[in-house]
Structure 1
Amino acid sequence: MTVQTEAVAELRPLSLAEVNSLASLTLRACRKYVVGAEILPVLLEHMAHDFGVLCEGGRTEFRYSSAYLDTPDLLTYRQHRQQRRRRYKIRTRSYLDSDLTMLEVKLRGARGITDKRRVPHDGEPGELTPAATAFLHEVLDEYGAAPPQPLRVSAVTDYRRTTLVALAGDERVTCDTGLVCRHGERTAAMRDDLVLLEVKTRTATTRTERLLHRHGVRPVSFSKYAAAVAVTDPRMGGNRWKRVLRRCFDG
């Protein structure tokens, strides 16, 4: 499935600089929705006059690959599964269409706010270079957490993303398709008739979300990293995501 429809082509094209200027939203609330193909045209029609779409080199869909770093006993996965109030995820994210990789730490803040810290990465995906190690220590020390040791690549997720941005700057909606999760030697692919939407905002429920609610779509607890581990290895205790994982991944 792809979101490259005529409706997307009608949206105002925005450069990355414009997107970041309008709605960088590195400190935000993030709610996730799993939607079927029939919802997308309705959603995009709703956005026609108030949203733009990230567009670079004529492209509005981009390939992403994230390598998640965790301890051998999956400390950060277990913190997420247990819904710890203070938790974080560490990853490198590669933008495959622009040959750029970033090192990112996503911190869980007060009232469920996500605080994402990131810097350009000077190594291979998932590699802990001296600069990456220094950045992790700086961010986690400020957060009041000891950097976990040792860290290694524990899962990889690949997908395609289209980014929609409210021209008012108060909302960003990412549309992810073609998600493939890898954990160890196991691989799982998300059903191709579904889209994972992430609504990023600093406000309460947005207009986009109210439209989704009217069509019976409710937010779900979904983490690409948690999915990569839980759906490929049931022994890891992913019961709290069981319903959404069953819907998203065949078998």
Structure 2
Amino acid sequence: MAPEILNILYSFNSVRLEEMDRVKLMDRYDTKYLLPANRIPDLLKLMLGRYRVLEINNERISSYTTVYLDTPDFTCFNQHVTERTGRLKVRFRTYNTTGNSFLEIKKKTKKGRTVKWRIENSPSENSFNATATEFIKTRVPNDPESLKPVLENNFKRITFTGFDTSERITLDLDISYASPDGKSAELPLVAILELKCRGLAARSPFSKLIKQFSIYPTGFSKYCIGCAMLHDLPLKNILKPKILLLNRIENEYNGSLSA
């Protein structure tokens, strides 16, 4: 991690994990932004004094590992790229900083909200136990036994919350992917910024703040991009505009280094 980022991060007021319970936001609106990773220091300076940063075990940057599950014909991926109402993601997520692992289900509602459910579980288990099976059956139309690991995603995350607002902002970086057949890909030059709030993003203080930074909302799924990069799927060309956007951001990063 760049020393400049760490220096700025430790200038923020911190918030403990227990205090973040009030902004878990398991039912929320999501808004995502993409930016070159070398613009992170300027973004942090803009946020300094307005937001607190999550600190766990004296660390302000946390490591995550996500294992996404899908059917043999990639039902979840197909529903996402075609923007089907009620689309789902099923995943194991391990919070490496704390060691906690959860089986999580995310659903996009017809009103555009993201709803998330989760139970404690581990991706190291070879099959779903009775609790996990019932958890999936009550929320996912697919047979739990048809869901298999198709993509691993590793990244680092910085989490912010306001002093007196219910919004949460996450900044993901050092993003990498691996498939079960041994393929891998990385997005080291791109950062993903996400605003999570109970109400519409347009009313969020952060949404107004980020306009000063000249980056704009864009739909983006780490899962779908990873699948498009590592799997030969019929519908992956739908994501070509997103791949081109990633290329432009990487070119902007490289261009700023050579300027």
TM-score norm. by structure 1 comes to 0.88
SS at match of 1:78: helix
* Counterpart for residue 219 of structure 2: 221
User: What is the percent sequence identity of the aligned residues?
Assistant: 25
Structure 1 residue 248 corresponds to structure 2 residue 246 = yes
* Counterpart for residue 31 of structure 1: 31
Larger helix proportion of the pair: 2
Q: 1:153 to 1:146 in 2, by over 3 A?
A: closer
* Counterpart for residue 188 of structure 1: 185
Q: Which runs of 5+ in 2 are unaligned?
A: 251-259
Kindly state the Cα deviation for residue 55 of structure 1 after the two structures are TM-superposed: 0.4
Superposed CA deviations along residues 213-247 of structure 1, whole A, max 9, x for unmatched, are 34331112211110111122354422332233234
* Counterpart for residue 95 of structure 2: 95
Q: 1:169 to 1:126 in 2, by over 3 A?
A: farther
Give the aligned length: 245
Kindly state the Cα deviation for residue 19 of structure 1 after the two structures are TM-superposed: 1.1
* Counterpart for residue 44 of structure 1: 44
Kindly state the Cα deviation for residue 56 of structure 1 after the two structures are TM-superposed: 1.0
Kindly state the Cα deviation for residue 68 of structure 1 after the two structures are TM-superposed: 0.8
Q: 1:178 to 1:111 in 2, by over 3 A?
A: same
1:92 corresponds to which letter in structure 2? F
Q: 1:69 to 1:17 in 2, by over 3 A?
A: same
2:226 corresponds to which letter in structure 1? A
* Counterpart for residue 111 of structure 1: 111
* CA distance in structure 2 between the aligned counterparts of 1:197 and 1:123, rounded to whole angstroms: 26
1:161 corresponds to which letter in structure 2? R
Asked if structure 2 preserves the Cα contact closer than 8 Å seen for 1:161 and 1:174, the reply is: yes
* CA distance in structure 1 between the aligned counterparts of 2:238 and 2:24, rounded to whole angstroms: 30
* CA distance in structure 2 between the aligned counterparts of 1:108 and 1:53, rounded to whole angstroms: 27
Kindly state the Cα deviation for residue 201 of structure 1 after the two structures are TM-superposed: 0.9
Asked if structure 2 preserves the Cα contact closer than 8 Å seen for 1:220 and 1:244, the reply is: no
Structure 1 residue 231 corresponds to structure 2 residue 229 = yes
Q: Which runs of 5+ in 1 are unaligned?
A: none
Q: 1:89 to 1:119 in 2, by over 3 A?
A: same
2:72 corresponds to which letter in structure 1? P
Q: 1:107 to 1:235 in 2, by over 3 A?
A: closer
* CA distance in structure 2 between the aligned counterparts of 1:126 and 1:220, rounded to whole angstroms: 36
Kindly state the Cα deviation for residue 153 of structure 1 after the two structures are TM-superposed: 0.5
* CA distance in structure 1 between the aligned counterparts of 2:230 and 2:122, rounded to whole angstroms: 30
SS at match of 1:43: helix
Kindly state the Cα deviation for residue 126 of structure 1 after the two structures are TM-superposed: 7.5
Q: 1:123 to 1:89 in 2, by over 3 A?
A: closer
TM-score norm. by structure 2 comes to 0.85
